[in-house]
Amino acid sequence: KAGVTQTPRYLIKTRGQQVTLSCSPISGHRSVSWYQQTPGQGLQFLFEYFSETQRNKGNFPGRFSGRQFSNSRSEMNVSTLELGDSALYLCASSADQETQYFGPGTRLLVL
């Protein structure tokens, strides 16, 4: 089976812009989670979607949002980008609510 894929792999944006990142889960996985990884804060949970519904959300401002489509693919959006949003954004999928498998990530640089 193909693994979790994320597009794009690298992205450069300027402050104030918005960005959309995409994640395709492993075939058959209905749960998709998003994480932010930064040198200062480490890995932090953003939100989790299952069958197009957001079930849980981490402690991030409303500028961070996401959605999931009927084919389980997911997107996350960050509006009004700030310098501190520069990070590696990781998507993970799960079939059993238990084990999460991660994609390679999208590295976002905000200038």
Partner 1 sequence: AQSVTQLGSHVSVSEGALVLLRCNYSSSVPPYLFWYVQYPNQGLQLLLKYTTGATLVKGINGFEAEFKKSETSFHLTKPSAHMSDAAEYFCAVSGSGGGADGLTFGKGTHLIIQP
**Chain contacts with partner 1 (rule: CB under 8 A):** 4, 31, 33, 35, 42-45, 47-48, 50, 55-56, 58, 90, 92, 94, 96-105
Q: Which is nearer to partner 1, 53 or 70 (CB)?
A: 53
Angle at 81 between CA 75 and CA 83, to 5 degrees: 125
Q: Are 107 and 36 in contact (CB under 8 A)?
A: no
CB of 105 to partner 1, least distance (A): 5
Q: Which is nearer to partner 1, 81 or 103 (CB)?
A: 103
**Look-up of token digits 């498998």:** 101
Q: Which is nearer to partner 1, 72 or 100 (CB)?
A: 100
For residues 98 and 61, give the distance between their C-alpha atoms in angstroms, rounded to a whole number. Answer: 26
